[in-house]
Structure 1
Amino acid sequence: MKKVIAQYREAILPEHRGNPLIEALPPMLDEQEILLAFSHFPPPDEHIRWSGSASVRRHYVDRIKNFRCPQTCYTECYRYLERVIRDGYAARNPLKSSTQQYLHYYADERPDIEPEDGYFHPSADTVTIVGNSGSGKTTMLEQVLGYFPQVIEHTEYKGTIPGVSHQVIWIKVNCPYNASVRDLCESILAMLDNVLGSDTTKPATRNGSLARQIAQKIKSSFLGVLVIDEMQRLKFSRTGGEATLIDFLHEIVDSLGVSLVFCGNHPFEETLSKKLRIARRAESGGFMIISAPGYNTPDWQSFITYLWPLQWTNVETPLTRELNEELFLLSRGNLSVAQLIYRRAQMQVIGSGNEVINKAVLRAAVPPLSARAEDFTDITTFLSAPDPVPGKPDTHRINSVSEAINDDGSESSCLLITGDLTRPQHTELYDKTMDALKSFEDKITRIKYRSVFRSLSAEQENFGRLTAYGLLCTDPSLE
């Protein structure tokens, strides 16, 4: 929880000026400031990379978990949230008499005498964010919410009492599995108690009393936006339980003036579209579909450009177009999966004696459960294809694992890639193989029998005939 003391800034819109709830919010960010605010690039730590033991460097690889490279959708999400929070507070100025009516009367109840500023009229909206699992929508949403303090403490506003002590900007809860209004109310109550640091509120036993209880708690805390994640759990059926929950949530918007954010996986948008009334209101404040970026988009290219230098291998593997394309194909552009593959790839080669990251290593690092998921069934095919297709990446299956020795002498499982000539396949031949590889390119350029190979190739003869020329090595460990 992030709690701050109110610092007031003059509101941009004239109608928002003089409202302590709005003027206490953080300043608006432009596009460049948004990208900087939501970025996090862990430092590689060159000293650890070049002098640290394998076990220590593996720990440093976990820093990739905290890597954040905001996409262009972050700007849109921030704009939506910033707007619905301010708009929701516009009608709830604690210094106005209409807000006092709002605080002391339930739902559509009104006093006999109209307040000096008129009756309370809510101005909140609903934002809906939809995307595939792992597309980064929840991470994006939590980062954007994290820019706003969760609680602002008010003491004095322009020499007067502001009419509010604690302002809760946002809370985030999950949609109940059974679409129960009561379960959701209890989650909201518990979350508000938690962020305010107050004693636990005992939920009322009767639903009507519970509804009044949650309404009063939301009002007194001046909640700005209620975020509900995992909305894909909501599926309308004949029982009507889901419709009841949606009606309750929109009552929060209509009567309490609190903006909502729905966040869910596909096919949540299909669920919403079945009910026109619900669909219209669910996108009143904005609608976003989060999908994996394309290879040639700025989102993917900036992501891989900032991710790739985070290497703790003792060999620097530069980012090439081939490696970039391979990681994109293996992750299908899913940024969280791409991060996981890259992290696993480094874990597998660190301490193996050859810490170069190549295409085969990336393929072997594909997480097995993700490879079997429905969204990634094409990856399984990609990895298990028997023969390479001309013009496409090599697609041999990778499944060879062997034991290696760490720097500290302990044994650990390190990956040895089948058919990968850049790393030894048998530990007993390690020294000889590495010596041969060091001067391999030089030896190739100085080969004396080029005409023999050309003749055999042209005649389509078996290379077994090299024995006749004394050029076939049958036992590399001895010859």
Structure 2
Amino acid sequence: MIKLPLAQYREAEIREYEGQPLINALPPINSPQDTARMLARFPKVDEAEKALPAHIRRHAMMRILDQFLYPTKSHLQLEQMISGMIRRGYLSRNIATPDYQRNLDDVGHTDFNAIVRNAGNEALVSSVIGCSGTGKSTAVEAILKTYPQAIYHPEYQHAQLVWLKVECPHDGSVKSLCTNFFRAVDDALGTDYQALYVKSRSSAESMLGDIARVSALHSVGVLAIDEIQHLEKSRFGGAVKMLNFFVTLTNVIKVPVLFIGTPKALELFQPTMRSARRAAQFGSLDWGRFARAENEGADGEWERFFKRLWKLQWFESPTPLSQEIMDLFWEYTQGIAHIAVALFYLSQARAVVAGREVIDRTLVNKVYQEELAMIHPMIAALRSGLEATILQYADLDVPRESLRAQSSLQSAAHLESFDQESPAEAKGSKRDSLVTILVQMGIGEDIAPTVADQALSECPNDDLFELVAHIKHLEERKPAAPSPKVRSRTKEKSAPVYLEDDLRLIRDDDSEECYQTLKARGVIIEISSYL
């Protein structure tokens, strides 16, 4: 067995945590400022490295890819959520009381195969859902590593497993997921559970009870399941069974479970986890892309992130940051952190190899067109803002407007909250919510803003219910065909709709670059081959 760090108990921060060895052996509860300092990772750019040959400098630049983490508000929220889940999950598992051994005995006699058929709605199940490449898995892992993974309590002869992160296999195999669990425990504790429980004839069903017993025996603080959307590929109802089992873990032995996945995972949660997600004490975090500042000249999360990234230049004379370059990176990355970091690294590496140490528009265009061609359809989908287009790609998120209120019509409390805002905020919020409701009613996303503006201008003092009724009343009428003037005015207000490989998106200001890009896409045909 691996030599584990010995428990060092701290004074409890609140009275519920007094006399709780599993909680008091943890690091102190962090303030947001402490969390930001602990999570921030900024690779060092040595001045001496800037004079190295280009082929060597490229290796130093690779630090950008794996040593850069800019903490945001979402990181702080996630840290508080995980901190709360671990501690609240330990409250009913006190190793200093006789109840602990009785609970272990109960787990040993529990038929988990029967329980998972009808899982409950335990509040310790939560999730982090976001677009692929936004850094959610990296964030969870960085936060978990602020805790020791395992702690040994000599007084109680107990090996505590504070956290465990397991990745769902690509084929969605439930048996492989169970195997990954035992392998992760063995790596953390130096045990041999995989050899003990994973046999060639072992079924996933037989291993579920073993997972529960090992989790109880080692007081797992939080179990993080990454890439949960892969369960969608599981055959014969395995996904439903596995999700129910994780909820059962929280019901029977109070092990908090954190799901991490792309929006595709929401399809798994809807039939089996709806009540659990509603009951969650800690909420479910929507890990979105970076948002741009609404006001010109202000700094949003995207601006702060990119300004910090831009400082990581291995040039003897760093390229100053311009608004044009920042806008260009936004256009090509749509606020996805992983893509922004990759594009910045590739652009800088190409500039060094070419002997022209400048990152400009022409260079970034060339790198994006040649080295990131595979992601062009996804970026074009995000750029379009059309939910139907975005949902063609399982790893992408849906537009912010659609996420803002998923059930506005059903939630009276949500509607009433607008009355508490300032007049200026209420007007903007009311319009946004009305647009969301109209989209959910089936009105096209390109028409909904115009309809909302018209309704607000005609009935400015009405609440959302009254505005929806007003619009439905207008729909019931049979309007005359619009005059050409009205039709023209409506068209001017509508936003352009881009399709995949739209020529307007792949064109370039540089005529030569534009020609080469169109030729690569098969738009331009070599006529000589037909002569």
When normalised by structure 2's length, the TM-score is: 0.65
Name the residue aligned to 1:115. none
The residue identity in structure 2 corresponding to 1:75 is L
For structure 2, which runs of at least 5 residues remain unmatched after alignment? Answer: 112-120, 294-298, 384-500, 518-531
SS of aligned partner of 1:5: coil
Name the residue aligned to 2:210. 213
Q: Deviations over 1:389-439 (max 9, x none)?
A: xxxxx9953969xxxxxxxxxxxxxxxxxxxxxxxxxxxxxxxxxxxxxxx
For structure 1, which runs of at least 5 residues remain unmatched after alignment? Answer: 111-121, 156-160, 389-393, 401-479
The Cα of 1:238 is off from its aligned counterpart by: 9.7
The residue identity in structure 2 corresponding to 1:125 is L
The Cα of 1:175 is off from its aligned counterpart by: 2.5
1:22 and 2:144 correspond: no
Supply the distance in 2 between the matched residues of 1:80 and 1:35 (Cα, whole angstroms): 15
Name the residue aligned to 1:289. 286
Cα RMSD after superposing both structures: 3.0
CA 239–82 in structure 1, closer or farther in 2 if over 3 Å, else same: same
1:192 and 2:191 correspond: no
Name the residue aligned to 1:434. none
The 5-angstrom pairing of residues 53-64 of structure 1 reads 53-64=53-64
Contact 2:232–2:268 under 8 Å retained in 1: yes
The Cα of 1:284 is off from its aligned counterpart by: 4.4
CA 106–353 in structure 1, closer or farther in 2 if over 3 Å, else same: closer
Contact 1:168–1:224 under 8 Å retained in 2: yes
Name the residue aligned to 2:196. 202
CA 276–304 in structure 1, closer or farther in 2 if over 3 Å, else same: closer
Name the residue aligned to 1:119. none
CA 241–54 in structure 1, closer or farther in 2 if over 3 Å, else same: closer
Contact 2:123–2:279 under 8 Å retained in 1: no
Name the residue aligned to 1:146. 145
Supply the distance in 2 between the matched residues of 1:399 and 1:153 (Cα, whole angstroms): 63
Contact 1:2–1:151 under 8 Å retained in 2: no
The 5-angstrom pairing of residues 29-428 of structure 1 reads 29-49=30-50, 51-65=51-65, 66-106=67-107, 125-155=124-154, 161=155, 163-177=156-170, 179-199=172-192, 200-203=194-197, 205=202, 210-235=207-232, 239-275=236-272, 277=274, 279-280=276-277, 283-296=280-293, 298-366=300-368, 367-376=371-380, 384-385=506-507, 397=514
The answer to which of 302-311 and 347-356 deviates more is 347-356
CA 108–79 in structure 1, closer or farther in 2 if over 3 Å, else same: farther
Supply the distance in 2 between the matched residues of 1:42 and 1:2 (Cα, whole angstroms): 31
The Cα of 1:138 is off from its aligned counterpart by: 0.8
SS of aligned partner of 2:229: helix
The residue identity in structure 2 corresponding to 1:397 is C
Name the residue aligned to 1:114. none
Contact 1:126–1:281 under 8 Å retained in 2: no
Supply the distance in 2 between the matched residues of 1:99 and 1:218 (Cα, whole angstroms): 13
CA 64–177 in structure 1, closer or farther in 2 if over 3 Å, else same: closer
The residue identity in structure 1 corresponding to 2:46 is D
Name the residue aligned to 1:13. 14
SS of aligned partner of 1:11: coil
The Cα of 1:183 is off from its aligned counterpart by: 3.2
Contact 1:364–1:398 under 8 Å retained in 2: no
The Cα of 1:108 is off from its aligned counterpart by: 7.3
Supply the distance in 2 between the matched residues of 1:95 and 1:395 (Cα, whole angstroms): 74
Bigger Rg over Cα: 1
Name the residue aligned to 1:407. none
The residue identity in structure 2 corresponding to 1:307 is L
CA 395–52 in structure 1, closer or farther in 2 if over 3 Å, else same: same
Supply the distance in 2 between the matched residues of 1:81 and 1:331 (Cα, whole angstroms): 29
Supply the distance in 1 between the matched residues of 2:292 and 2:6 (Cα, whole angstroms): 44
SS of aligned partner of 1:134: coil
Supply the distance in 1 between the matched residues of 2:314 and 2:331 (Cα, whole angstroms): 23
Contact 1:2–1:150 under 8 Å retained in 2: no
Supply the distance in 2 between the matched residues of 1:90 and 1:395 (Cα, whole angstroms): 66
SS of aligned partner of 1:365: helix
Q: Deviations over 1:31-66 (max 9, x none)?
A: 1111111111111111221x2222222221111111
The Cα of 1:109 is off from its aligned counterpart by: 6.0
Name the residue aligned to 1:443. none
The residue identity in structure 2 corresponding to 1:21 is L
The residue identity in structure 1 corresponding to 2:164 is I
The residue identity in structure 1 corresponding to 2:286 is I
SS of aligned partner of 1:105: helix
CA 326–2 in structure 1, closer or farther in 2 if over 3 Å, else same: farther
Q: Deviations over 1:262-293 (max 9, x none)?
A: 01111222431234655536844320111111
Percent of residue pairs bearing the same amino acid type:
29
Instruction: Count residues with an aligned counterpart.
Output: 377
The Cα of 1:134 is off from its aligned counterpart by: 0.6
Contact 1:364–1:399 under 8 Å retained in 2: no
Supply the distance in 2 between the matched residues of 1:267 and 1:59 (Cα, whole angstroms): 35
The Cα of 1:231 is off from its aligned counterpart by: 1.1
